[in-house]
Amino acid sequence: MANTRGYSDESAIVKVSADGVDLNSIWAEQQLALSIYNEERSAITQLLSYPTTRQADAVPQSTSDLEFEEASEFGVPQSARIPNEGLRVGYTLRDFDMATRSTWKYLRDADARQIAMLFASIIEADNRKVNTSILARLFDPAQRENEFQVPVYGLYTGTDGITPPSYLGKTFPANENHYIASGAPVIDSSDVEDAARLVMSKGYGRKAGSKVLLLVNPEEAEKVRIWRAGEESRPTQGAELSAPVAKWDFIPSLGAPAYLQPDNVVGAVAPAAFNGLDVLGSYGELLVIQSEFIPAGYFTVVATGGPSSDLNPVAFRQHTNAAYHGLRLIPGTVPAYPLQESFFTRQFGVGVRHRGAAVCVQITTGTTYSAPPLLKWR
């Protein structure tokens, strides 16, 4: 009678998938893919955020330019200094994780593509978590505190007693609000123009190399595509005698499908892509970009200084130890056979740095802005 008791030896461990691929090589490929993924954050994340390891910063809330004075023969020049209107803004920091667990029978019968598919799904989930967290901090006006009790702000709300500092002699009211309810059920040109004016009047998007973006869901993008200068940008509603008239034409980008143009385009056409994001076209000074990450019924006008610029509105905080940056893949309880159990961990936090660098608009007939349910900041 065979002995059925005791320890299983190494011969009982599954070492290859059903299609003959070594499991350790699959693990090595996952580690390599993860390192590449961590080097290339999402294009939206890069344009909206600034990487940091600090728990708080004192950040000027407008972009003031220094100015030379006329020199005198006997005097000395005035000293330049950083503007002192800095607001202390905090950033959260939280841990997130997920595990994968597989039995030896599954690993024996699964092929390499099935094993890799789960890994790809986890990377997609991490990408979605990071992007939605940054957008949720932008779209949700709720104020929180971080672990050091430093306020973690959204954009200007006009209700927290903080007034935007002046810019080039222009002052702003104490109730300046960057969360807007449009007052109509369809996006129109005045919504976008007013949002852009709120951002650019504070100096954002004015510096060389910076851009102002209109980020919209594909549903709203279809409406923006048909705007023409001098024409109403949406149907009239209720008792309205006329709808808002567009100031500019929407001009398709270089990457747009071929189209007939009865008039000549004057000026530069928007590029086909901006930092890896497809550009639909331009409306005035704004680059129009559609994204499924932007919920239908909302849009944002945001100034960006470029990938990971300190002028970007949201901070993306990670641990002070670089070893804890990015999505990490850790072997489970049996390190020699990590595909049987492994842990994916990510630590990050967010907080708005420049409260005047973006405006979020809800397309609604109501008068009060409500954050999108899918982007509630937690």
Which tens digits make up the pLDDT trace of 201-228?
999 998 888 899 999 999 999 999 999 9
Give the range of the structural domain holding residue 96, as residue numbers without chain letter: 15-62+85-259+267-373
Residue at 9 is within a domain: no
Residue at 238 is within a domain: yes
Pair of tokens at residue 242: 């006329």
Task: Please enumerate in sequence order all residues whose Cβ is within 8 A of that of 330, keeping only pairs 6 or more positions apart, or say none.
Answer: 342, 343, 344, 345
Question: What is this structure's pTM?
Answer: 0.83
Q: At what angle do helices 23-39 and 112-139 cross, to 10 degrees?
A: 20
Residue at 70 is within a domain: no
Domain count, the chain: 1
Residues 356 and 359: their CA atoms lie apart, in Å, by 8
Q: How confident is the model at residue 367 (pLDDT cuts 50, 70, 90)?
A: very high
Residue at 71 is within a domain: no
Length, in residues, of the chain: 378
Residues 152 and 56: their CA atoms lie apart, in Å, by 9
Pair of tokens at residue 180: 């807007």
Residue at 1 is within a domain: no
Least confident of 2-16, 169-183, 257-271: 2-16
pLDDT at 2: 53
Residue 220, phi then psi, degrees to nearest 5:
-75, -30
Residue at 307 is within a domain: yes
Residue at 69 is within a domain: no
pLDDT at 3 over 60: no
Over the stretch 29-86, which tens digit does the pLDDT of each residue have?
766 766 665 554 578 888 999 999 999 998 877 766 566 777 877 777 777 665 555 7
Residue at 223 is within a domain: yes
